[in-house]
């Protein structure tokens, strides 16, 4: 229960019933008893018909002061109950209806959910005091009210509801009661579908006075109103006074005798003295029918006591003749009649052998039908329906006519000659056959030939029939499963030469019935998992290991492999498939250089024949054989690796191989030397160029052989020395000489006659290999003259700076001085040769070069006398 604080409204006047309803009724066993007490049973139900749960549930009943007017009248209780206990509702053990009115155990803090109910029952004993006796004037009916209260869990509102029950008590001088007892609550059903049973009716006057005009009224509508016909009804008086006898028309209103509901013949004025009884037996034969019935009503005994009061006990119900037993329930007098037969069918396979045609099966089905030994009635109109074709659509070869091999039937059904099991599926003619209870049965067989597999699987036979009234009983069926052979599927795979192949061959095989399957033979030879290997005629070895097939081709063989294998299920059914293995053709795809190093001159820079480089060779291939070697040859290489040492299934790297560095193509051949191997020659790449480049140091010097002074026209000469200061031969040595202000007139030495001059080759053997050239020339004119010389060769020059002599060292140039004859003449141009002071005079100065060469840097100095002033 949630923690809900009690609001003021929860303690206030109820706002309504909140959907709560409570009922109250009574069932008195007979009211007044011989011990001068009354017994009455109050019962009812509190139901929450609201939308919210309620708590603080209370049910109170003031039996003493509220109902009977005095707590002292309550003598005791026969029973008190509250429930359902499974929901936690329990009785307040202190409840007595007088000092404690609460029925519920308040220690149980339950909620009553919407739709839930609490049932109660109170069976009390009340003293038969005069004030309660309705014989007194005026009659004093007893009104009993029961009150229920609760609070709404959601709203907190207080709710209240109540119910009342009214009963009249009477202290009769005659206390009449009737007992109705069934001899068998579930009587056996006769073979004709009828049922025989009887009631014992006991009538008693337990009072202190005589009862006259006694009558027992009863209707057996619990039978005929429920469709159970009453065939016969016979009443026999077993004991009682002479005035109590059977009414010949009594039949419980069934119409079998006279349609009367009065048991006693009134002509004799039926009378029961104090403590007198009368006993009758009512024998009935009912049915047949498929309906069922349970009696839940009781007859009524009535009469008149000595005071002239009518005594009628409509609610006094007894299962036995002990009418004054302490009981406080309104009991039923049950009788349950069932007329339904119990059909049984069982279908089995009694033969399942290979047929004459390969792949077919001969199957014999056995069908047994019976009327169960516990069946209450006969079963009629027997029929078995069996659609054979449904189990193997399209694979039914033949269906033979059914044959009855055993029958214990009361009436054996007639076989239907039109039955085919492939459309016409009823085995018997309609409306024939009868089985009595006790296990009457019939056994028949049907022979069927089928072609496996049988995709439908189960074969079902259905047994239908009717009960004795012609109503159809519930059909029953039985089925059997046709075990199909496994389904083997070809396996196609490939491997390389001499490479074993592992195939999960059974992975694509299956069994329609989910049976386990195993391999039993290879190419007609037995084989088993973990057993000995099998050798095929082509040299192939086959073995089954851990459920997988290991195939080892013959050594060096590239021929395709194929062979059949057989699988078998646990039922012995087999199927065959084939293994196809292609031996892959070996192929060298690519041969390439990788990780190419620089050229190595091996210390001989002038000799390229020993120049080398290193590189990896990567060979890419497919389908390498499983044995032999991979050879690599060509370009000075001859190496191999066993196929077991290959880097992978598609390539191998030969590392750090040495090749000639000549700048040309590197042609290599890769070969798998297995008998079924492969080979290919390819240009794997280009070698680096030679790194042995000849080293020379050609130097040139030029020296002027004369010393000054020099004059134009003088003859001068220079010595040019060409040297190879390097380590290697210098070839195609060219010398150039470019003079300035000099005209070359002669060149000698080194075979030169002019410039440029090719000296050919000069060995690296200075000074012994030096070449000297003498250049002679004439100075063209005055001024500086120079002569720049240079040399070149085909080889790399390690010191290019000494390839030219430009005269900067001062030993190959000079200056020629020219021959000039300057004459200066000064002439008075105007004025008097003896001018007076203040006169102006003018002079003309003429300078003339009468020499052969130009005069340069000519300067003129004129000293003006002191008496003259330059204007």
Alpha-carbon span 300 to 218, nearest angstrom: 7
Q: CB within 8 A of 514, min separation 6: which ones?
A: none
What value does the mean pLDDT take over residues 459-481?
Answer: 90
Whether 333 shows a pLDDT value over 70: the answer reads no
Tokens of 668: 């290599």
DSSP H helices, 617-749, are: none
The answer on pLDDT for 674 being more than 50 is: yes
pLDDT, residue 868, reads 76
Q: For the chain, how many residues are written?
A: 871
What backbone torsions phi and psi does residue 649 show, to the nearest 5 degrees? -75, -5
- pLDDT-derived band at 4 (thresholds 50, 70, 90) equals very low
The Cα 387–Cα 677 span in angstroms is 63
Q: Is the pLDDT of residue 661 over 70?
A: yes
Q: What is the pLDDT of residues 561-586, one digit of tens each?
A: 999 999 998 878 888 999 999 999 99
The 10s digit of each residue's pLDDT in 267-281 is 989 999 988 999 999
DSSP letter assigned to residue 219: -
**More confident position, 428 or 393:** 428
What is the pLDDT confidence band of residue 139, given thresholds at 50, 70 and 90? low
Instruction: Answer yes or no: is pLDDT of 363 > 60.
Output: yes
Q: Which among 588, 598, 670 is positioned nearest to 635, based on CA atoms? A: 670
Distance of alpha carbon 34 from the chain centroid? 78
HEC string of 188-209? CECCCCCEEEEEEEEEEECCCC
Average pLDDT in the 394-422 region?
95
Return the structure tokens found at 592.
């390439």
* Token duo for residue 212: 């006259």
Q: How confident is the model at residue 28 (pLDDT cuts 50, 70, 90)?
A: low
pLDDT for res 287: 81
132 three-state secondary structure: helix
Reading the block at residue 862, the tokens are 């004129």
Peptide bond into 788 cis (omega under 30): no
Q: How far apart are CA 523 and CA 507, in angstroms?
A: 19
Average pLDDT estimate for 214-220: 92
pLDDT in tens, 683-722: 999 999 988 777 788 999 999 998 888 888 889 999 999 9
Class of residue 869 by CB neighbours under 10 A (exposed 0-12, middle 13-18, buried 19+): exposed
Could you tell me which of 46, 174, 64 has the C-alpha nearest to residue 110?
A: 46
Q: Give per-residue pLDDT as tens, 50-63.
A: 999 999 999 999 98
The half-sphere exposure of 544 on its side-chain side, counting CA atoms within 13 A, is 18
Cα 628 from chain centroid (whole Å) = 48
Mean pLDDT for the stretch of residues 204-211? 86
Q: Which of 92-101, 388-397, 496-505, 842-851 has the highest mean pLDDT?
A: 496-505
Q: Tens of pLDDT along 510-562?
A: 987 788 999 999 999 999 999 999 999 999 999 999 999 999 999 989 999 99
State residue 20's pLDDT score: 93
Task: Using DSSP bridges, classify how beta strands 54-61 and 25-26 pair: parallel, antiparallel or unpaired.
Answer: unpaired
Q: Which helix (H) or strand (E) holds 221?
A: helix 221-224
Q: What are phi and psi of 113, to 5 degrees?
A: -75, 160
pLDDT at 294 (0 to 100) = 66
**What is 31-75 written as a DSSP string?**
EE-TTSEEEEEEEEEEEE-SSS-EEEEEEEE-IIIIIIS-GGGEE
Confidence (pLDDT) at 500: 94
Dihedral (Cα; 121, 126, 128, 130), 10-degree rounding = -100
Give dist(CA 259, CA 244) in Å, integer: 20
| Residues in contact with 205: Cβ distance below 8 Å, sequence separation at least 6, in sequence order | 174, 175, 176, 211, 214, 272, 273, 274, 275, 276, 277, 303
Residues β-bridged to residue 204 = 177, 277
d(CA 481, CA 456): 9
Nearest partner of 388 among 358, 351, 426, judged by Cα: 426
Q: Which residues pair with 361 in a beta bridge?
A: 354, 450
List the structure tokens of 108: 């149980």
pLDDT range class, residue 144, cuts 50, 70, 90: confident
Q: Are 601 and 691 in contact (CB under 8 A)?
A: yes
d(CA 410, CA 381): 12
Each residue of 75-96: pLDDT tens digit? 888 788 888 876 788 889 889 9
Of 569 and 326, the structure prediction assigns the larger pLDDT to: 569
DSSP class of 214: E
d(CA 798, CA 793): 11
Q: Judging by beta carbons within 10 Å of its beta carbon (0-12, 13-18, 19+), is residue 246 exposed, middle or buried?
A: middle
pLDDT at 853 over 80: no
Whether 417 and 350 have beta carbons less than 8 Å apart is answered as: no
- Structure tokens given for 40: 């009455």
Helix intervals (H) in 333-451? none
For the chain, the average pLDDT equals 86
* Interval 721-769: pLDDT, tens: 999 988 888 899 999 999 999 999 999 999 999 999 999 999 888 899 9
Closest by CA to 485, choosing from 386, 579, 355, is: 355
**DSSP letters of 345-365?**
EEEEEEEEEE-SSTTEEEEEE
The answer to whether residues 200 and 237 touch, using CB atoms and an 8 Å cutoff, is no
Higher pLDDT, 627 or 867: 627
Domains along the chain with CATH numbers? 4-172 (2.60.40.1510), 176-337 (2.60.40.740), 343-481 (2.60.40.10), 491-584 (2.60.40.10), 588-686 (2.60.40), 695-816 (2.60.40.10), 820-870 (no CATH)
Euclidean distance between CA atoms 38 and 41, whole angstroms = 10
| 383 pLDDT more than 50 | yes
Structure confidence at residue 1 (pLDDT): 35
CA distance 159 to 131: 35
């Amino acid at each position: 229960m949630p923690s809900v604080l009690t609001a003021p409204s929860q303690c206030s006047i109820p706002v309504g019933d909140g959907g709560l309803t409570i009922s109250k009724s009574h069932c008195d066993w007979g009211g007044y008893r011989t011990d001068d007490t009354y017994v009455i049973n109050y019962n009812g139900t509190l139901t929450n018909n609201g939308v919210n749960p309620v708590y603080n549930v209370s049910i109170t009943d003031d039996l003493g002061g509220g109902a009977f007017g005095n707590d002292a009248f309550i003598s005791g209780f026969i029973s008190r109950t509250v429930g359902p206990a499974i929901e936690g509702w329990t009785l307040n053990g202190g409840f007595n209806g007088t000092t404690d009115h609460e029925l519920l155990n308040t220690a149980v803090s339950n909620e009553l959910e919407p739709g839930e109910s609490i049932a109660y029952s109170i069976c009390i004993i009340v003293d038969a005091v005069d004030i309660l006796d309705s014989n007194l004037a005026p009659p004093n009916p007893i009104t009993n009210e029961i009150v229920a209260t609760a609070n709404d869990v959601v709203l907190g509102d207080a709710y209240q509801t109540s119910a009342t029950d009214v009963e009249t008590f009477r202290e009769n001088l005659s206390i009449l009661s009737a007992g109705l007892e069934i001899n068998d609550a579930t009587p056996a059903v006769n073979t004709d579908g009828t049922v025989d049973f009887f009631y014992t009716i006991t009538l008693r006057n337990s009072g202190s006075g005589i009862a006259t005009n006694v009558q027992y009224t009863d209707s057996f509508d619990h039978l005929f109103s429920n469709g159970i016909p009453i065939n016969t009804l016979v009443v026999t008086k077993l004991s009682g006074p002479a005035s109590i006898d059977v009414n010949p028309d009594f039949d419980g209103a069934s119409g079998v005798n006279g349609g009367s509901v009065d048991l006693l013949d009134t002509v004799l004025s039926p009378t029961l003295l104090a403590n007198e009884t009368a006993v009758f037996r009512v024998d009935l034969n009912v049915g047949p029918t498929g309906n069922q019935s349970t009696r839940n009503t009781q007859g009524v005994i009535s009469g008149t006591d000595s005071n002239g009061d009518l005594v009628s006990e409509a609610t006094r119900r007894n299962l036995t003749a002990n009418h004054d037993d302490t009981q406080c329930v309104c009991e039923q007098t049950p009788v349950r009649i069932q007329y339904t037969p119990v059909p049984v069918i069982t279908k089995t396979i009694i033969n399942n052998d290979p047929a004459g045609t390969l792949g077919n099966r001969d199957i014999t089905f056995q069908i047994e039908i019976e009327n169960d030994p516990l069946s209450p009635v006969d079963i009629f109109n027997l029929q078995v329906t069996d659609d054979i074709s449904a189990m193997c659509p399209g694979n039914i070869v033949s269906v033979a006519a059914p044959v009855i091999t055993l029958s214990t039937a009361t009436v054996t059904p007639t076989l239907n000659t039109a039955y085919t099991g492939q459309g016409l599926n009823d085995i018997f003619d309609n409306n024939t056959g009868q089985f009595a209870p006790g296990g009457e049965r019939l056994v028949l067989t049907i022979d069927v030939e089928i072609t496996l597999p049988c995709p439908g699987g189960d074969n079902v036979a259905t047994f239908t029939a009717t009960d004795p009234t012609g109503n159809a009983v519930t059909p029953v069926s039985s089925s059997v499963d046709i075990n199909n052979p496994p389904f083997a599927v070809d396996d196609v795979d490939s491997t390389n030469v001499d490479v074993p192949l592992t195939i999960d061959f059974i992975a694509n095989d299956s069994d329609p019935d989910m049976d386990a399957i195993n391999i039993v033979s290879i190419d007609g030879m037995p084989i088993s998992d973990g057993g000995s290997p099998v050798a095929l005629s082509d040299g192939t070895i086959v073995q089954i290991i851990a459920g997988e097939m290991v195939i080892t081709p013959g050594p060096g063989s590239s021929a395709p492999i194929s062979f059949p294998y057989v699988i078998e299920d646990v039922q012995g059914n087999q199927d065959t498939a084939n293994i196809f293995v292609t031996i892959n053709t070996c192929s060298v795809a690519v041969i390439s250089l990788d990780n190419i190093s620089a050229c190595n001159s091996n210390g001989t820079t002038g000799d390229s024949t020993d120049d080398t480089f290193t590189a990896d060779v990567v060979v890419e291939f497919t389908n390498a054989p499983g044995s032999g070697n991979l050879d690599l040859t060509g370009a000075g290489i001859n190496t191999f690796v066993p196929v077991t040492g290959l880097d992978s299934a598609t390539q191998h790297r030969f590392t750090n191989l040495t090749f000639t560095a000549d700048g040309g193509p590197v042609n290599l051949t890769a070969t798998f030397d297995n008998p079924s191997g492969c080979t290919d020659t390819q240009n794997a790449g280009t070698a680096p160029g030679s790194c042995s480049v000849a080293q020379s140091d050609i130097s040139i010097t030029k020296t002027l052989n004369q010393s000054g002074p020099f004059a134009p026209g003088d003859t001068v000469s220079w010595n040019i020395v060409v040297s190879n200061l390097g380590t290697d031969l210098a070839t195609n040595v060219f010398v150039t000489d470019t003079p300035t202000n000099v005209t070359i007139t002669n060149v000698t030495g080194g075979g030169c006659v002019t410039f440029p001059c090719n000296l050919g080759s000069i060995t690296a053997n200075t000074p012994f290999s030096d070449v000297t050239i003498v250049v002679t020339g004439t100075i063209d004119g005055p001024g500086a003259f120079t002569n720049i010389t240079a040399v070149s060769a085909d080889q790399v020059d390690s010191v290019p700076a000494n390839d030219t002599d430009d005269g900067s060292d001062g030993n190959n140039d000079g200056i020629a001085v020219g021959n000039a004859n300057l004459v200066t003449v000064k002439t008075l141009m105007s004025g008097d040769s003896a001018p007076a002071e203040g006169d102006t005079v003018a002079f003309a100065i003429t300078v003339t070069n009468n020499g052969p060469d130009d005069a340069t840097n000519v300067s003129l100095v004129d000293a003006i006398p002191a008496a003259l002033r330059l204007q």
